[in-house]
Amino acid sequence: MSQTPVKRKFMDFQANQIDTVLAVHRVPARVQGGNVTPRWFRYHLNTSPGARVSVVRNLSEELALALGANQVRIARDGYNLTVEVPRSDSSAVYLLDLMEQFPMNETVAPCIGVGDDGRSLHMRLHSPDIAHALVAGTTGSGKTELMRTIVWSLASTNRCSQLQLVLIDPKCRGFGTFRTLPHLLAPVVTRPSAALRLLERLTEEMERRDRENIQKPHIVVVVDEVADLLNTAGKVLESYLIRLAQRGREAGIHLILGTQSPSSEVFSSLLKANFPLRLVGKVSSANDARVAAGIAGTNAEQLVGQGDFLAISSGRVTHFQAAYVPTSHYPELQKRIAQKAGRL
């Protein structure tokens, strides 16, 4: 993102404040550059070999006080540390804008938002190291909005002959707007019994595709609040999800499951192990962050909500702002979907 002179001056002031706090606590590190994202000012720390990450992280409250911020987030960025300060003038990232700036080819790789480098971030479901995704976050994190964005992105960039969607919405709040999508393999499912039958059909379809060596059309199954389904339908439904997660990629079937917290009381370790990509929004505690991300130290509990997310894959953590689709953008996206479907 471009920086105005006023913004650069403000960032220079904050960088000096960070350097002062580090110097007072005798931490051998200094700010060396930074960048602006839709939700954060990010400052890169140049650390000496003797600098301890834990010491820097323990200074988060002192840094927040010095910067006049409610909180700061200290995170690893490759081999470097960054101090991230929430912006008071944060702005939304719109899917339509990203589609205009970064045209998307027909592919099962929905746009999920913007990374800290300012580029659009895509979830390449056809990649062997992704295949399925688990989306986690508390109320207000933007989890359901992110899943809606994924559906909009898939439907508006793929023909029905290339992609089919299965939407399961047990709370009847997430996917109602998609009832008329031409890509739907079945009507939006809201009842656990119907979800159970549909997942059984998909498992049978996966086995047929395996026998016939078929992968297309891709089928993407999106479930909002999967924990509700697991609590209601139990082990039988979980067994279908596990089989689809284990063998679905080769058959062109992909799962995107949303939940507030993938706790061990609800999700078995076997099910979670088959989701190599985690999209994690704000969670309540460090323990919830570890469970949701599958690794420790992501600091997801320090995210600010409203689309502030981490993508975790193969131990790599990518910070991004989730793309958003306001209701005013629905007509344009529906027009694009109709054009793809050959209706216009």
Domain locations in the chain?
Answer: 5-86, 95-340
| Per-position DSSP letters for 199-256, written without gaps between them | HHHHHHHHHHHHHHT---SEEEEEESSHHHHHHHHTHHHHHHHHHHHHHTGGGTEEEE
| 95-340: CATH, from 3.40.50.2000, 3.30.70.940, 3.40.50.80, 3.40.50.300 | 3.40.50.300
The mean-pLDDT minimum among 9-18, 79-88, 161-170 falls in 79-88
What's the rounded mean pLDDT across residues 89-99? 87
For residue 1, pLDDT beyond 50: no
Quote the pLDDT of residue 6: 66
User: For residues 76 and 47, is the Cβ–Cβ distance under 8 A?
Assistant: no
**In angstroms, what CA-CA distances link 239 with 48, 200, 203, 323?**
50, 10, 10, 32
Among residues 202, 170, 207, 204, the alpha carbon closest in space to that of 185 is found at: 202
**DSSP-assigned states of every residue in 5-61:** HHHHHHHHHHHHHHHHHHHHTT-SEEEEEEEE-SSEEEEEEEE-TT--HHHHHTTHH
**3.40.50.620, 3.30.420.10, 3.30.980.40, 3.90.76.10: which CATH number matches 5-86?**
3.30.980.40
Tens digits of residue pLDDT in 168-216: 998 888 898 999 999 999 999 999 999 999 999 999 999 999 999 999 8
Bridge partners of residue 134, in order along the sequence:
257, 278
**How far is Cα of residue 46 from the mean position of the Cα atoms in its chain?**
29
Q: pLDDT (tens digit, 9 = 90+) per residue, 293-326?
A: 888 888 888 888 889 999 999 888 888 999 999 9
Q: Is 234 or 282 the better-scoring residue by pLDDT?
A: 282
pLDDT over 90 at 34, yes or no? no
156 token code pair: 């508006």
Tell me the pLDDT tens digit for each residue of 218-270. 999 999 988 888 888 878 998 999 999 999 999 999 999 999 877 777 777 78
pTM of the model: 0.87
Q: Look at residue 342 in the predicted model and tell me its pLDDT.
A: 60
The pLDDT, as a whole number, for residue 306 is: 87
- What is the average pLDDT value for the chain, to the nearest integer? 88
